[in-house]
Structure 1
Amino acid sequence: MASPRILLAGGGTGGHLYPALNLAAAFGRLAPEVECVFLGGRRGLEARVLPDAGYEFRLLPLQPLYRQRPWRNWRLFASAPAVIAGVRRAFRDFDPRLVVGTGGYVAGPALAGARLRGVPAAIQEQNAAPGLVTRLFAPGVDQIHLGYPEAEARLRVGGRTRLSALGNPVAPVAPGADGAGAPNGSGSSAPARFDWPRGRNLLVFGGSQGALGLNRAFLRDLEWAARDAAWPDGVSVVWIAGPAHAAELSARTSELPFADRVRVVPYIDDLGRQLGGVTLALCRSGAMSLAELCAAGRPAVLVPLPTSAGGHQLTNARALAEAGAAEVREEGGLEAGEVWSLCRDILTDDGRLARMSEAAASRGRPDAALDIAREMLTLLDRCAA
C-alpha cells in the first residue's frame, strides 16, 4: 500500500514557505510513514528552495494579485487555465489525503482543489491579521491554526471548523548561549556557528523584504550617534544588511568612531536557530521572524514594513507590543537617532530588558510545529477511516 500523502501549499516568500517546511519536518517526526509533497509557484522563493529540500513538488505558473493596481491583473486571469490544469495534475499524481495551506497565492488553488475533491484541509495562518486566502477559505476548511490568538476576531469560520492558536511553526532553537548546536526535526545538520560578540548584542535585520528602508534609517541613526562620544559599555551591533547592501554599509560604518562595535554581515545562515547570542533585535515584524524571536525569548524594537499586504506587519507588531515583548516605531515618522536611542535605553536597563524578555518568552511556542502537526494528523486518521 502506498504511503499516505500530505500536500503542503504555501510560498511566494519565506514567511509562507518555511512554515510549510517546518510542518513537513514535524510530520516526519510524528508519522514517518507519511509522505509530504509540495505545491508552489514558479516565481516564488520555493522555486529555489524546494529542489534541495528533499521533497517531491510541483510548481504552478502563478501570477501575483495587484490590489492597488487592478488593471495589471490581466496576467492573473490569463494564467488561470494553466494553474487549474496544474492543480488537477498535482492531485492526480499525488492523490493527497490531506491538504495544508500556509499562505501565499498558491494556497488558494490547493485549498479549492481539496474542497472540490472532498479531501480534508487545514490552514496555518501566521499573521495577527489573517491573509486573503485564509479569510476566503476559513468557512470551509476542517482546521485553522493561528500564529496569533488575536487573529480569531478577524475570521468567520464554518460550523465544522476547529480553530486553535498554537503559535507559528518555527524550526527548533539550537541550545546554548551562542545558539550553536542541534539538528532540526528533519534531521538536517546544525547551522554554521555564528561568532557573536561578547556582552549584549543588538541584532539588526530587515527580513526577506523591505531591508533597504530599515538599513537607511539605522545608518542615519549611527551617524547621529557618532556625535555622542559615549557608546554604551558592553554593547555591540550585529547588522544583517543583505547581500546587496553589506559592502556599502560596512564601508560607511568603518568611518565611525565606534566602528569596532558594529559588525555588518550580508546574512547569517539559519538565523532562527542561532538567536542565543542576541540580547535585543531591531527588525521588521514579519510573523515568522517574530515567532523565532519569541521562541528564543528575545525582545525587539519593531519597525513594520509599511507596504506589507493589509498592514499585517503593523498588526503583528502591535500585538507583541501589547504583550510587553516589543516597542514599535513606524518608519514614516522616524526622526534621526530615534530607534538607536530606544535600543540603547533598553539594552542598558536591566529591569526593562528582563521584563521584555520574559514577555517575549511567554509568547514563544518553540514546539508549535509538532503541536500543529499532531492536530492535523487527526484529519489524516479520519480520512483513512
Structure 2
Amino acid sequence: MTVTEINIKEVKAFVDAALEGLQKELRELNHQIWSNPELAYEEHQAHDTICDFIEAQGFAVTRHAYGLDTSFEVLSGTGGRLINFNAEYDALPDIGHACGHNLISTSSVAAFIALSLALKKFGLPGRTQLLGTPAEENGGGKAKLIEAGAYKGVDISLMAHPGPKQIYPGQECCGIAGTLMNARKNIHCEFSGRNAHAGGNPWEGINALDALVSSYNNVAVLRQQLLPDQRIHCAFLDTPKVANVIPAYTKAFWQVRSPTLTGLTTLIGKVRNCIEAGALATGCQVKIEEDELYTDVRLNDTLCERYQVHMGSYNRDVLKRHDKVLTGSSDIGNVSYETPTLHTMFGIPAPEKSFPHHPTFAAAAGTDEAHTEAVIVGKSLALIGWDMVSGDDLYDITRNQWQDEIVRKD
C-alpha cells in the first residue's frame, strides 16, 4: 500500500483502536507518576515506571540514557524521518505535579506507541523516538540531552503541556497550539564580607547581608524599567541565623526571563550591575555565576495548524497560536533551536483561577478528566507525526518555516 492510498481517516481509526486497547494501562501509568512526585534528576520511580510500561508493550528501552540517570530512550521503525516525542515527569517541591508533567509523559507515551504501531501496520518507512527528559522545572534536562546528542538526526520534535482552559485571561478554549515562552537564565551570587560583633565593634565588620539586601533593592528599582513580559525572581539561600554578628557570607539565586534571547542578554547585564553595586556599596566581594539557559520557543505555523486540525477531529476547539507571551519558560525552547518543534498547551478541567505551580492545579492534573484530554492530545500528536513522515511537501514547508524563523530571530 502506497502513502497516497492510505487515508488519514484509516490512520486515525487505527490510532483510536490501538490506544483504546491500552486505556486501563495508560491510566495506571499516569496515576503512578502523579501519585509519586519526584524532583529534578531524582525521578527514579517515574523513569522505571515508564520504562517497564514501554517494555511490556514490546519495545526495547535504553535506560539511563545519554549519561543522565533518569533519562531513557526508545526507538522504533526503520528508514524515513525521525519523529521525537518528549516525556517530562519531574515535579515541584511541596506541591507535587502542579505543572502536570504526569500528563505530558502520558500524552507522549500514547503518541509514541500509536505512531509506532501505525507505521508498522501500514508499512510506511519512518522512525519514532520516545525520549525521557528529566529536570524541566529546574536543571535543564533537555539542554543536557542536546549536548549529549539525543536530538541528533531528529526531524520533528513534538510534545504537549497541560494548563487551565483559560490559560490567558478572558480566553477560554481547549488549548493553544503555539504559545510563545520566555527565555530564561539563572544567576547565582555569593557575597563575602567580614564578621564582627554587632553590638561591640560593628565598624570592624563588612556586612554581607547588607550587600544582599542592597542588590535586591537595586533590582526592585530596576523593575520600573522592565518590559511588560520580562520577569526577575529571587530566593535568598543563605542568610544570618543570629542577629548579634555582622554576617560575613550570604547567597542568593536569581532567575531572569525575557521574550527573546537578545532581550535576556541585555537584562542579565542589568541584573549583574545591580548585584555588583550591592557589593561595591558595602565593601563586600561578590562571586557571580550564570547557568541553565532556557531559550525562547520558535513557533512553527505548519505544526500548529496540523495540531489544530487533528484536535478538531476530536471535537476540541484549539487556537492555532497566541501572540501574547506565556511568561513561563521551558527547555523545550532549546530543542526548538535544533529542529522544528511543537510545544502545545492543552486545557484540562480545573477550578476557577487555577494555574500551573499551584496546589489546585496539581489536584486537577490527577483527575480522570485530565487523563482523557492527555490521551486525545497523544492521538493528535501521533497524527502530526504521521503527517510529517508521510507528506514530503508538508514536511518541506515545515522545515523551511523553521529555517526562516532562525534567520528572522538571529
Q: Which has the larger radius of gyration?
A: 2
- Greater share of strand: 2
With normalisation by structure 1, the TM-score equals: 0.27
TM-score of the superposed pair, with normalisation by structure 2:
0.26
